[in-house]
Structure 1
Amino acid sequence: MTYLLKLTKEACLIAGLFSLFISCNTQPSENSNDLKDFEAVEQTYVLQLDSTIHFLKALKNSENETAIKENFLIAKKYFKKAEPILGFIEMENYKTLNGPNLLKVEEEDLTDIKKITPKSFQVLEENIFTDSNIDKEHIHQVVDFLANRLTLIKNNTDLSTYKDYHFLWLLRNSIIRTATLGITGFDSPALSQSMDEAQIVYNSLNNYLAFFKDHFHDKSLFEEWKKEISNTVAMLSDGDFNTFDRFQFIKQHTEYQLHLWNKTCKDWNTNFPFSLAINNDAPGLFSDKTFSIAYFADHAVPEEKDSISALGKMLFYDTNLSDNNSLSCASCHKASLAFTDGEKTGLGIHRKPVKRNTPTLYYAGLQKAFFYDNRTGNIEGQISDVVNNKDEFHSDLAALEKKVKSDPQYKEQFSSIYKNGITQNNIRHAIATYIRSLAPFNSKFDRNMRGEEASLTKEEMLGFNLFMGKAACATCHFPPLFNGTVPPDFRESEMEALGTPKTASNKTLDTDLGRYEIFKTEERKHFFKTPTIRNIAYTAPYMHNGVYDSLEQVMDFYNVGGGIGMGFKLEHQTLPEDSLHLSDQEQQAIIAFMKTLSDPMPQSNY
């Protein structure tokens, strides 16, 4: 049951007012009709920011609870109208203004650790609509922050240098943001107004797109956009949060809109200066051609990447690279197990257990931080850590380089690919290139999303819809990667504090403090990176400590509210502590869906 169904009669009237607002398209001012493209976009956007600021200030000046709620809903409406532009040109500010009601910790190094108390629309929504007694002083502090930050943004907005490709990028970003965050409840935690807010975004996109009507050489393509957006809004308007068919929405609308986007790029003869996280010619969200490897690797991808990957694979399987010639990367990352090892925690040199579970390497290249504690920023850094770790390779990069140089075959291959031959950096780059190639996007779910087959069962589709909605799984495991790398910008791989138990009996909290051990930041105790659930059918046991052997155990853990739901004391748990109230049938449906994310596994471990 959504929160709206439990509102008082008075609050229901406000909710009705909100629904009335979303039925009205954002109308540009009369003057903007005489302006072109980004001039009109800027004028409309600034007016939307102005309106947001106005109703935030009205909220602060409201004397009673009804007026506070009403003004919040109107302010949020205008904020969502501005979202397509704001979320693109002010990425970091947007994340702050729309962030979750959770303490944010930024750790650059031991001398630069910031602890940021959230002041966002989500904070306001939770305080206004879930707290029994509204804390006006706190609300006023948050409102002041939001209004001041939006005023600063408004006063510094200048889109005069923006080009066609900027608009196309922000259009695509907004489409992807709505599908991967907007319809999941990510930014409407108390009211679950995701469907209504998504309508606001699409109506706003429709008006922004109208400013670029003259850019279309094929006028029928512009009409096709108008019709598609109208159909999208119609589907959203019929949607209830818990029963909305997100599978069909993404397949029928998000994927189709990305197809229209590609047609528009060609129609406009657009030349993109570079790629963002999503390739400029990506056919959709669920393809091996979707993501830019260079974006995630933070360096250009060489033309010889296939031969480099083949060389990296040789190194990956070479046991001679460890101290006692007994351990290779593949010893702990077996191809037939989705590059995991089936162990509770990994087995290092001399078969000695290491501290944490071995994660899959599938899709590992499509994230922005590595290891369960996010301690390195790229795969090359992860390789260095494994080589130097006394419980793993028990070696160092100089010894690694010496061993590789002693092999004539390696010398010949490195010389044919790299100008400077065998170096520590080139060895790491070759292995990393191979790991980055492990992103096939060839699961049953991917093929169904691409329309190559229609083989998903009703249970599997129900499971996806629960995953994306009622069960709130997708608020941490974001599609299409289903890891913690946040779309649509894919700039950050998130960590969460779940309260994972030490044993499957669920009696005590695990003693591994996770991210805390890097910088000793108290508020980071028990924080771990959100891994991908792609190929989860092959990667048991689960969690950072391998505590659970089955997906049924994992679902039960989440269903009861994680560690706090089990009675553990965990001050900064990010997982909601309330039960999800998922039935056994619903939990089985989610498991059935997760198994559709399995890529075909090789039969051998090479």
Structure 2
Amino acid sequence: MNFNTKKGAYVFIGLFSILLNACLNQQQDHQTKNNPTRVLENTFSNTLSAAITAMDSIKTAKEAVSLEKHYLNARHHFKMAEPVLAFVDSENYKFLNQPNILKIEEEDATDIKIKQPTGFQVLEENIFTENPDFESITLHAKKTSERLQLIKKNLNLNYIKPYHVLWMVRDQIIRTALTGITGFDSPALEQSLTEAQTSYEAVKQYLEVYQSEFNNTEIYNQWTEAIKKAQTDLNADFNSFDRYSFIKNHTHKNLELWNATVADWQVEFPFTKSINNNATSLFSNNTFNLYHFSVYNDSLTEEKVNLGKKLFFEKELSASKTINCATCHIPEKGYTDGLAISKGVTRNSPTLLYAGLQKGFFYDNRAGSLEGQIVSVINNENEFHSDLETFEKALKNNTEYTEAFQSVFKDSIKQEHIRHAIASFIRSLAPFDSKFDRNINNLENTLTESEINGFNLFNGKAKCATCHFAPLFNGTVPTTYKESEMELIGVPETTDTINAKIDDDLGRYDLFHTEERKHFFKTPTLRNIALTAPYMHNGVYNSLDEVLHFYNIGGAAGLGIEMENQTLPPDPLDLTEKEKQYIIAFLNALTDSPSSELVY
């Protein structure tokens, strides 16, 4: 074969290859367009790529203006990726979006990790300042970019089914309401409302990918309109934004529309996450899946709760035969005892209301379940001064109890049944029947302007909701509800503001002696706070006015107490006296009705 013949053959083969590849690419494009999961993956991947490009630009920026521009661009794409990223890779999402405070992980005394924070929030606080540290910013941008690249490299969404997509959408709707509009992850810029608009745009984009799943096109059109309305209302000033109306008129209606979508897509969920699959409100006794917060995955029956209630008030189980659980947890006092420090212990008695809806127990989070906490209390020589074995023997001598346990557990009296019954009663103490709940759920229209203003301040200017997350108003973090946070706010030993000293209780430190954990305490619920004075782990404050003053001046820092690892922002909140009274009015509206029935 001569040269020209060979050349002609190669040209033919080349043309054939091009045509073949073109056909294959068209076929693949057609397959991709008809495969929503592939489209989702491609869209998500492209969004990550855009975030990486912008983040890499930060590393080479030489001027503050360029830093800010590239950061905002990267952050925009991060928020567009948020619904998928937070769902499919919650740990990496947390890494990228962690607050600018030291991260401490304590598995046990031999496995303690102390990590410096990095990611978007750290970059935001370092970039938007008078004198940016370019070297530090470059380092954090590099780490953030590398993590984004790692996520993109390992991306595989082949397992995604329509019910996953619906969970992604709902999580983002809830995330936007509970952390997105509070300033939780935009501490320096307070651009939370703009970012919330972006998050809604992402929801719109991902629903569009799965538009073919809609049998009723009108429901899809309702989503488009609902998102547009939410974005319009989010175009507002951070401090004056009406978060109460937003949740009531958008979040809850979005949840109703989401349930209609579930029915339209004919989706069946394989299990229930932290939020019940049929929830239409964030402030309802049907919002949370109680089993998500429990080590037991069985029903909370009326019979079991009543048995637990009887044990809760049973004095015969204590060594002295004179005390019971209600000695320190009096129902009329919001299941506290009204004392600064409870008898026989070293800390204030925490409320048991909504105690089941958290992931850590005791002020230092040393117990991982209600059952574990109950065992500790029973064994404590200054409380029950007993043990479950003694409990078991005492109960077996009582015919009424032996019959009750047989009826409830289909078994004889056992230690694990005793603690589980008491824990079940405590889990039932979450009625969501306060004045605030009834109003935001449209059951009545009695909230005053002051109470609504207080909620909006709580979730906005005052930054309370960045630690006390609605609707539980405790430190269990939405939307996964896997962790109950601890904070160092610097509670003083007395109300002396001139010569203030830190309280000598070292909190979490006493558990593993991690130096960086000194004076850390769990963030408690604020529900029914009007009934649970005095306040703080040492009961130092007798009124909500005193508590608001402490936070308004910046906690320990405002009192002149130097705490290296204080997690509460040290800057004054600059709340006016009227604004503080608004917040107190709202907190008083979180008191449940005395006639609230137990929830099963």
Q: Is the 8 A contact 2:433 2:596 kept in 1?
A: no
SS at structure 1 position matched to 2:487: strand
SS at structure 1 position matched to 2:556: helix
2:366 to 356, 367, 375: 375
Please report how far the alpha carbon of residue 33 of structure 1 lies from its aligned counterpart in structure 2 after TM superposition: 8.3
Give yes or no for the alignment of 1:445 onto 2:436.
yes
Give yes or no for the alignment of 1:521 onto 2:514.
yes
Give yes or no for the alignment of 1:338 onto 2:334.
yes
Query: Could you list the per-position Cα deviations for residues 129-183 of structure 1 after superposition, in whole angstroms to 9, with x for gaps in the alignment?
Result: 02x3221221122111111111111111111111111011110000111100011
Query: Could you list the per-position Cα deviations for residues 334-385 of structure 1 after superposition, in whole angstroms to 9, with x for gaps in the alignment?
Result: 11111111111112xxxx4x21111111110000000000000000000000
Give yes or no for the alignment of 1:479 onto 2:470.
yes
Please report how far the alpha carbon of residue 77 of structure 1 lies from its aligned counterpart in structure 2 after TM superposition: 0.7
Query: Could you list the per-position Cα deviations for residues 7-55 of structure 1 after superposition, in whole angstroms to 9, with x for gaps in the alignment?
Result: xxxxxxxxxxxxxxxxxxxxxxx98982432211111100000010011
Please report how far the alpha carbon of residue 390 of structure 1 lies from its aligned counterpart in structure 2 after TM superposition: 1.0
Displacement over 2 Å in runs of 4+: 30-37, 601-604
- The AA in structure 2 aligned to 1:559 is N
Please report how far the alpha carbon of residue 127 of structure 1 lies from its aligned counterpart in structure 2 after TM superposition: 0.5
User: Following the alignment from structure 1 to structure 2, what is the Cα–Cα distance between the partners of residues 245 and 282?
Assistant: 23
Partner of 1:225: 223
User: Following the alignment from structure 2 to structure 1, what is the Cα–Cα distance between the partners of residues 230 and 127?
Assistant: 30
Aligned residues: 567
User: Following the alignment from structure 1 to structure 2, what is the Cα–Cα distance between the partners of residues 105 and 319?
Assistant: 40
Partner of 2:415: 424
Give yes or no for the alignment of 1:94 onto 2:85.
no
Partner of 1:359: 350
Larger radius of gyration: 2
1:204 to 199, 202, 205: 202
Query: Could you list the per-position Cα deviations for residues 100-152 of structure 1 after superposition, in whole angstroms to 9, with x for gaps in the alignment?
Result: 0000100000100000110110000000102x322122112211111111111
SS at structure 1 position matched to 2:80: helix
Give runs of aligned pairs for residues 28-67 of structure 1, distance below 5 A.
34-67=33-66
Partner of 2:15: none
Q: Is the 8 A contact 1:340 1:361 kept in 2?
A: yes
Give runs of aligned pairs for residues 61-460 of structure 1, distance below 5 A.
61-130=60-129, 132-237=130-235, 239-302=236-299, 305-347=301-343, 352=344, 354-460=345-451
Q: Is the 8 A contact 2:336 2:352 kept in 1?
A: yes
- The AA in structure 1 aligned to 2:57 is A
SS at structure 1 position matched to 2:288: coil
1:510 to 499, 503, 520: 503
User: Following the alignment from structure 1 to structure 2, what is the Cα–Cα distance between the partners of residues 174 and 92?
Assistant: 16
- The AA in structure 2 aligned to 1:242 is N
User: Following the alignment from structure 2 to structure 1, what is the Cα–Cα distance between the partners of residues 161 and 404?
Assistant: 44
User: Following the alignment from structure 2 to structure 1, what is the Cα–Cα distance between the partners of residues 47 and 31?
Assistant: 13
User: Following the alignment from structure 1 to structure 2, what is the Cα–Cα distance between the partners of residues 298 and 174?
Assistant: 27
User: Following the alignment from structure 1 to structure 2, what is the Cα–Cα distance between the partners of residues 211 and 284?
Assistant: 26
Q: Is the 8 A contact 1:36 1:212 kept in 2?
A: no
Farther-moved stretch of structure 1 (368-377 vs 262-271):
262-271
Give runs of aligned pairs for residues 504-583 of structure 1, distance below 5 A.
504-506=495-497, 507-583=500-576
SS at structure 2 position matched to 1:181: helix
Structure 2 gap ranges (5+)? 1-28
Please report how far the alpha carbon of residue 603 of structure 1 lies from its aligned counterpart in structure 2 after TM superposition: 11
Q: Is the 8 A contact 2:253 2:280 kept in 1?
A: no
Q: Is the 8 A contact 1:41 1:208 kept in 2?
A: yes
Query: Could you list the per-position Cα deviations for residues 370-408 of structure 1 after superposition, in whole angstroms to 9, with x for gaps in the alignment?
Result: 000000000000000001111111111211211121211
User: Following the alignment from structure 1 to structure 2, what is the Cα–Cα distance between the partners of residues 133 and 100?
Assistant: 20
User: Following the alignment from structure 1 to structure 2, what is the Cα–Cα distance between the partners of residues 173 and 388?
Assistant: 40
User: Following the alignment from structure 1 to structure 2, what is the Cα–Cα distance between the partners of residues 120 and 576?
Assistant: 18
- The AA in structure 2 aligned to 1:600 is S
Structure 1 gap ranges (5+)? 1-29
Q: Is the 8 A contact 1:369 1:375 kept in 2?
A: yes
Q: Is the 8 A contact 1:293 1:301 kept in 2?
A: no
- The AA in structure 1 aligned to 2:310 is M
SS at structure 2 position matched to 1:46: helix
SS at structure 1 position matched to 2:140: helix
User: Following the alignment from structure 1 to structure 2, what is the Cα–Cα distance between the partners of residues 205 and 480?
Assistant: 22
- The AA in structure 2 aligned to 1:334 is I
Please report how far the alpha carbon of residue 299 of structure 1 lies from its aligned counterpart in structure 2 after TM superposition: 2.5
User: Following the alignment from structure 1 to structure 2, what is the Cα–Cα distance between the partners of residues 476 and 191?
Assistant: 18
Query: Could you list the per-position Cα deviations for residues 304-331 of structure 1 after superposition, in whole angstroms to 9, with x for gaps in the alignment?
Result: 6211111000000001111111110011
Query: Could you list the per-position Cα deviations for residues 197-220 of structure 1 after superposition, in whole angstroms to 9, with x for gaps in the alignment?
Result: 111111111111011111111111
User: Following the alignment from structure 1 to structure 2, what is the Cα–Cα distance between the partners of residues 81 and 273?
Assistant: 27
- The AA in structure 1 aligned to 2:275 is I
Q: Is the 8 A contact 1:336 1:603 kept in 2?
A: no
User: Following the alignment from structure 2 to structure 1, what is the Cα–Cα distance between the partners of residues 196 and 595?
Assistant: 41
Farther-moved stretch of structure 1 (410-419 vs 487-496):
410-419
User: Following the alignment from structure 2 to structure 1, what is the Cα–Cα distance between the partners of residues 150 and 216?
Assistant: 39
SS at structure 2 position matched to 1:601: coil
- The AA in structure 2 aligned to 1:91 is S
